[in-house]
Chains A and B, each alone.
Chain A
Amino acid sequence: MTKQFELTVDRIKCDGRGLCAEILPERIRLDSWGYPIVAPGPIPEHLMGLAARAVDDCPVLAIALRRAQVQKQRPK
């Protein structure tokens, strides 16, 4: 049983640069003002590489990967 990860965004650090949505459009899209809406839930295995890149490329380190939490799902 492999570990599952999910993406979280620090909303105060995020200033709408939009790189994450470019790198991982399968899980992240931009709202009407350019800020990321992240699909809730764990990242599929085949997208983990891109997710790691999205985390790494964020100019302000606002997005991160954390262990998937097995509880309520809120839209981010």
Chain B
Amino acid sequence: MNNAVLWYATRGAGAVSLVLLSAVVVLGILSVLRVQTTGWPRFLTVGLHRNLALMTLVFLTLHIVTAVVDPFTHLGWLAAVVPFSSYYRTFWLGLGTIAFELLLAIVLTSLVRGFIGQAAWRLLHWLTYAAWPFAVLHGVGTGTDAWSAWLFTLQAFCVIAVLAAIGYRFMTGSRDPLADARSSFQGAVDRREPR
């Protein structure tokens, strides 16, 4: 009985984590695109992005804890932090471990952005584009019922939403109205030695 509860908890928390993470990625992209309407201010996008990211970590923790504690999987705590160290579905689980650690790094650095500075923060934040696909692949590979209808639909929806957002982002130019003029002027006064 307990096993079943833990098993459902793990799968449920995992699914919720994926949905939340996908929403976080989409919101992050909407933030960069400076999306805004009269009813939806920009700080709402940023605020949701942050809060949902924290929620993602909460559900991820639940997902990991219930998975490790579940006697059926024989996972030790080590598997939660060292990628590819489990006997149980080694590869796919390892991807999940990596995704978790990347997300942890991203959230922690965001919390101390004021201390590490914008440049360092931004560099680390690009890791989002590694964390999300790892999370998706992990979900596809480890779930016993990965192909059950509801999970499949959920995953497909998340993937389509994120890919659409990414596609849109890279098709539209920078939303910074100064970007062209700034780089053009910089080019004119740049006297660094070409490498």
Contact with A along B38-68 (1 / 0, CB 8 A): 0001110011000000000000000000000
B46→A19 contact, CB < 8 A? yes
> Is the beta-carbon distance between B118 and A60 smaller than 8 angstroms?
yes
Residues in A whose Cβ lies below 8 Å from that of B43: 19, 22-23, 57
Q: Name the interface residues of A5-56: CB closer than 8 Å to any CB of B.
A: 13, 15-19, 22-23, 33-34, 56
CB of B5 within 8 A of chain A? no
Taking a contact as CB atoms under 8 Å apart, the answer to whether A59 and B178 are in contact is no
Complex Cα distance A44/B192, Å?
46
How many chain A residues have a CB neighbour from B under 8 Å? 15
Residues of B with Cβ closer than 8 Å to A? 31-32, 34, 36, 41-43, 46-47, 113-114, 117-118, 176-178
Judging by beta carbons under 8 Å apart, are A18 and B42 in contact? yes
Q: Which of A50-75 contact B (CB under 8 A)?
A: 56-57, 59-61
Bound-state CA distance A19–B32 (Å) is 12
8 of the cross-chain contacts (CB-CB < 8 Å) are A16-B176, A18-B42, A19-B43, A19-B46, A57-B43, A59-B31, A59-B46, A61-B114
Flag if A17 contacts B42 (CB, 8 Å). Answer: yes
- A17 contacts B118, C-beta separation under 8 Å: no
